[in-house]
Structure 1
């Protein structure tokens, strides 16, 4: 060492530094070197300055953004410090103070870190963004040690340390300033400072009631949790996420719980349980209350949901009942269809009996010639008179119908003769052989076409539908020929009477599978505090003090609507809340009005409608070629609800007319009853209603079936949000896409939600969306990784699989909790992962880790 120039010892000098700087020296270090006199040499000062430059110029000591993707470079940068320290101490043999301090820190703290992570880096573990979370957490510890070391080195050269000069904080501050912008909450989607309705004020009161119960600070912004569709798969994954949120005290801070389909199973469980809780009960969203409280294991309430995972399973008697219910619906639908066909066949029989085929052929020929001449003449006449032909839509439709009728008539006559040739002019045995041969051949041909050419499906189903209806009409026509005019007239009169009776008596909701589905869901997910099946609560009776304000999202099916907004959509977003229900297309009415118009409407009904995945009309996926068969086979989980705004109209139940609308996919919003099905048929994430209310912070749990990671739900939402609200969702999903090994790099993304400027807005309002995706990154626990080996389809089993085993349930639940826990790593949020995390601080921490500053926030340097 050099000549002493200080009366202080090493122990005294190092203890006088900041607590952070002195913390890198343990008791053993002070026992060995603490009594030495602090007197750095000139070589020490030069070496300290050189190593200081190394520290401040490396990635190793700079803030590492979560999505920057430079983990391997940071590891290499830290490893290179050993080489630089080695060179400096070799070049400066008199730098004993520098050498002792630097090598102590490198060997005590840095070497274990680099040794551990070098092996993992070689194995490719750092290629997965999510797998690097632990690395980032440990990197922050090493960075703090290196920053503390730099402060000590600068005390050697009497300079200011790295802790005061480290860069990167300005960007964090820029993002934080952006995220502090106000976002005006709009209860029920209405502008807060406008002329608000009773519904908007009632919703605000219920939300504020919950805030008061949980002692959440009053605020002029809202936060929402959205649980996507996806059946029991989504419900289970979402339950795991909520368990992770509960451990951090976050659930009480969400104002809204917006759910779709399977997400509604989990959401309705909480709504029923907490919405009916007694004032003195220990049921709430708090981490120390049920249902999320853990003692030695999972609470009995959550375990009850686990046991209901295979909710569609049942006894032999229940299955028999289901078969009979479906058979009844099929029978009644066929009765209606065949009765209508019989009426058409009778008219066909009368006309063909009175007029010979030769005359009909002549009529068809001459009418076709006349119509062709008329088609040629009409444009000339319109052009001569100066009138536009495009405006004559009704006349053109009539001409088109007249042109089509003769060829159809001739074609139907050909089917009559073909039916006679193949069936009715042969013996019974021959008929049976021909039927089985034709039917078998059709199945083979259709199966081959489906397997190889999926695009042929619409053509095939449409052709089959037309062929079946034509053959049925021809069969009825032939039967009328056999029995004669009197019997045919009597049979047709009976069919008309039966249709009339069904029209006035039949409630088509009672013939669908909706009631069975509703009952099974209610038994599995709607329970009381004693784990017993509970009577489903009316939405208007939900106690909002303990439960987040629930929004159950459905689809209002209107493929027959003439409203231009529905063109290409065939549906609108329908929502049910404790205050109101409705859709933009039909407006919103108080929920009590809906309950009055529909006595069976309660939480179980809304949950079942939100999850009615199979329906003849399925919103964006409505296909007329399949609607007919879905109706005939009674694959109808949706239901018709009476619109309270149509309360004065005469029909007291959905009738045969509504069934025909399902058959032909022509339902609209103008009738007394509206057709409701799965919310995923229009928007599967449940975010739409949260955007309408301008939530500042949104967490979306996406558990939809998306094995190829194409993000249909989110991209569909982006389209709807921009068209309907002018809202732009900025989402970079690259790290969620599948890599070469079939894994994503991350489980989640953080997105800006840019709300449009209103007339009275001074600056753009920006919300934030934490998008959690059902995904695997490869760093999950051994149980999940083992299950993936056993079940390659995991975590995207088909939504049609609603019969989860215990192992399957636990795999999805554990994955949800794993993803939820990842959202709170200090390496991501910059916060300590404690029992109570403030939602605003959490979102700002996520923003610092994920977001780049807005370009508008940079100074103009031109």
Structure 2
């Protein structure tokens, strides 16, 4: 892409191609006959995916608003059905933006458009035939059951995919107990492997401390005491030793009265302390006086060192006048004090840990020490259960009153202490050869050997950076999503001969053709909508970022196509996909990096899995030290580390950014970053990606960008919202105003329209319990661009409109759906944690989405006066 090229030109070219393929525009037209329409499918796990499936089916059956360039339908019935499918409301959608659970069903829908994906492509018009099959697949009703005795290649194109989706509502454990055992084995293998990876440096550190204790015969508690006397207290004193001669912007000088007075005081303390301790035998008073003298001396040295360093500043990124000032001195010395306090806390924790491990080893000798391991396993189980509450927007009343972030930090600290204690017991067991604690000389040799072994293993394991992702739950999660949802569009699973169908109609059997590379997905000519996949790049550590970014703790990363049919084939330097970070496109350089699995490009299924990584150590704006520590130690990790290797403008080759010495041991370094919620964005070699909903959960954020020219956004807002507070919508309104200078407001006219007011509600009306005849299930929002200079600073004509569909019990639902709602009072806002939908649950959410979609858009068999009124109103 050239610098002067419209960053969205490729997307517009793809939209032009799809419209020509569907006959929605004439070849001679030089500009689009109409504005773009977008569909946003929100996060919410399988609950959102299943509800959105029903909405997609309703849109596939409903007729689109009249288009002047629509061709005359053919005469025969089959061709007529194809024409209806091509000109359904769903065919009107140009953009598809997905987050989390919306990406499950969105990837299934978009992949249907790839020629040859579902059925053998037509030789004359493969793109058009694939599009007709895609729309007809969603028009199939009702979805039945999958059967190995049916040759789906001879059946309607929607029969196999619809049945496959229903069959795999329990996509994580579709085959029952066998899958539960598989998931349990994988979970505990990965957890134990993670503990070993974390434990190796812990064992190295604890064994070295124990060795020092054995050799010196001194208490380890002296270490934090020395750190406090030599570093922490001197830093506190050094703050007061620089007094400005004028204003705070003057260079710091040691020629002030405070510094000179301290020199005299320190000299006097050394002299009086020596006299008191040695001559007068006042040992307590003398020791205290000498300690004070030592603190003062260190304070003088630290002050001198810092003043000299500020005066000799050679950092081109800093202004020397600003750096060499009293103001900056005070900032730097306060930061040094913070680091010193952290060092004292860490050394104190380690000293207490070794002491506690020795005490426990003494009193929990023999097999009784296994109780600590059982306690650790029980704590991990409890953490896994409690951590899942983090995703829910509505917590029990008593839990809302609790300081959850503080409690998470306490729980994380206790879990870490328990883990370290278990490793400390192992160190003591090896040191004393499983016997009683004694002063045997062999103890030091065993500790030295253990230190050497731990050091070698830490060094070797630190080079396997791919462990970061393979030890998480992401691979399992993405694989199951791929089989359940992309497998539904893979005709090879159910269109083959009987023997093959018997093998591959089981979702437990992997099939390589289920997943798609982004090269296949974006570089194959198709008439599908432009699919935008939204994830969050976690960012908690960046001194250049200001308040808003620190509150968000993440940036939006959007994966979009970078190829259109009339363009040259994608190359290594110009791939089929592009990455938009906070709206800016970046080029990547993957030629320079380790030979590791982590460098492999992510497939479509993996990106969808990352977009749905709701439970992880990086939670966007919800990230905290406590939650990251708790979830990380329990290995509840669905996010991934990803090498962006972004090139800055004008940069020809990527240069490693990990220049710290400890990053040579990448595995442990990045695990430390992950457990402590220290995510640096692309200031490091690897970035932590998680659920797109951790930034914005409706999926409409990217569609609002004015360069995409979207005039109508249909949004399925299926996030967990039992009280109808519309938290996700409120977040979208704030982000649009702050980031894109767009104001989103409720449309007042639709609430007064004689026909539309029966299905459209205000935010306040949604919070009221619906009556028996209530059919309100939608919101209409206007998006206005700010126009400086006008009276109210807003353009009167909406930039675009957002039609929000909200899962809600309305009048006219089927008896089975009402029965399910009565048996499950939390429906249709059951917990996102529930990813195991049985037949009744799957059908209830699908039917609810279908009913709400038909309420607004009409059906195939019956023209809808409501839909006609809606389209007239929007025009």
What TM bracket, shorter-length normalisation?
0.5 to 0.7
2:527 aligns to what SS in structure 1?
coil
1:696 aligns to what SS in structure 2?
strand
Partner of 1:686: 699
Cα distance in 2 between the residues matched to 1:283 and 1:752? 36
Spell out the pairing of 1:155-554 with structure 2 (5 A cutoff). Answer: 196-197=4-5, 199-217=7-25, 218-219=32-33, 221-247=35-61, 248=63, 249-277=88-116, 278-279=121-122, 280=125, 283=129, 290-294=136-140, 299-300=158-159, 301-315=161-175, 316-353=177-214, 355=216, 357=218, 361=222, 364=225, 367-368=228-229, 371-372=232-233, 375-384=236-245, 386=248, 387-389=325-327, 392-403=330-341, 405-406=343-344, 409=347, 412-425=350-363, 427-428=365-366, 454-456=402-404, 457-468=407-418, 471-472=421-422, 474-475=424-425, 478-479=428-429, 482=432, 484-508=443-467, 509-526=469-486, 527-529=489-491, 532=494, 534-542=513-521, 543=524, 545-554=526-535
The structure 2 residue matched to 1:734, chosen from 747, 760, 764, is 764
1:794 Cα deviation after fit: 1.3
Partner of 1:571: 554
1:333 Cα deviation after fit: 1.6
What is the TM-score with the length of structure 1 in the denominator?
A: 0.67
1:486 Cα deviation after fit: 2.1
Cα distance in 1 between the residues matched to 2:373 and 2:590? 54
Runs (5+) with no aligned partner, structure 2: 26-31, 64-87, 145-157, 249-324, 390-395, 433-441, 495-510, 563-576, 648-652, 659-663, 747-761
2:412, 2:630 within 8 Å by CA — same for their partners in 1? no
Spell out the pairing of 1:118-157 with structure 2 (5 A cutoff). Answer: none
Partner of 1:806: 839
Q: Which has the larger radius of gyration?
A: 1
Cα distance in 2 between the residues matched to 1:319 and 1:586? 41
1:293 Cα deviation after fit: 3.5
Answer yes or no: is 1:666 the counterpart of 2:616: no
Runs (5+) with no aligned partner, structure 1: 1-187, 189-193, 849-862
Partner of 2:850: 817
1:555, 1:571 within 8 Å by CA — same for their partners in 2? yes
2:210 aligns to what SS in structure 1?
helix
1:232, 1:802 within 8 Å by CA — same for their partners in 2? yes
Partner of 1:588: 585
Answer yes or no: is 1:703 the counterpart of 2:718: yes
Cα distance in 2 between the residues matched to 1:832 and 1:758? 49
Cα distance in 2 between the residues matched to 1:271 and 1:593? 28
Counterparts in 2 of 1:699 and 1:793: CA distance versus 1, 3 Å? same
Cα distance in 2 between the residues matched to 1:754 and 1:472? 59
1:726 Cα deviation after fit: 1.4
Answer yes or no: is 1:834 the counterpart of 2:847: no
Counterparts in 2 of 1:555 and 1:430: CA distance versus 1, 3 Å? closer
1:513 Cα deviation after fit: 2.2
Per-residue displacement from partner, 1:693-735 (whole Å, max 9, x unpaired)? 3421110001111112121211111111111111111134122
Cα distance in 1 between the residues matched to 2:21 and 2:865? 17
1:290 aligns to what SS in structure 2?
helix
1:752 Cα deviation after fit: 0.6
1:233 aligns to what SS in structure 2?
helix
Counterparts in 2 of 1:797 and 1:739: CA distance versus 1, 3 Å? same
Counterparts in 2 of 1:842 and 1:204: CA distance versus 1, 3 Å? farther
Counterparts in 2 of 1:442 and 1:752: CA distance versus 1, 3 Å? closer
Spell out the pairing of 1:773-784 with structure 2 (5 A cutoff). Answer: 773-784=806-817
Moved more, 209-218 or 425-434: 425-434
1:422 Cα deviation after fit: 4.5
What is the TM-score with the length of structure 2 in the denominator?
A: 0.66
Spell out the pairing of 1:601-620 with structure 2 (5 A cutoff). Answer: 601-620=602-621
1:810 Cα deviation after fit: 1.2
1:736, 1:745 within 8 Å by CA — same for their partners in 2? no
1:754, 1:765 within 8 Å by CA — same for their partners in 2? yes
1:554 Cα deviation after fit: 1.2
Cα distance in 2 between the residues matched to 1:445 and 1:803? 21
Cα distance in 2 between the residues matched to 1:595 and 1:411? 40
Spell out the pairing of 1:616-627 with structure 2 (5 A cutoff). Answer: 616-627=617-628
1:344, 1:473 within 8 Å by CA — same for their partners in 2? no
1:411 Cα deviation after fit: 5.8
Counterparts in 2 of 1:582 and 1:394: CA distance versus 1, 3 Å? farther
After superposition, the CA RMSD in angstroms is: 4.3
1:250, 1:837 within 8 Å by CA — same for their partners in 2? no
Cα distance in 1 between the residues matched to 2:35 and 2:590? 29
1:748, 1:770 within 8 Å by CA — same for their partners in 2? yes
Moved more, 546-555 or 662-671: 662-671
The structure 2 residue matched to 1:725, chosen from 726, 740, 746, is 740
Matched pairs, number:
650
2:561 aligns to what SS in structure 1?
coil
2:415, 2:633 within 8 Å by CA — same for their partners in 1? no
Moved more, 357-366 or 487-496: 357-366
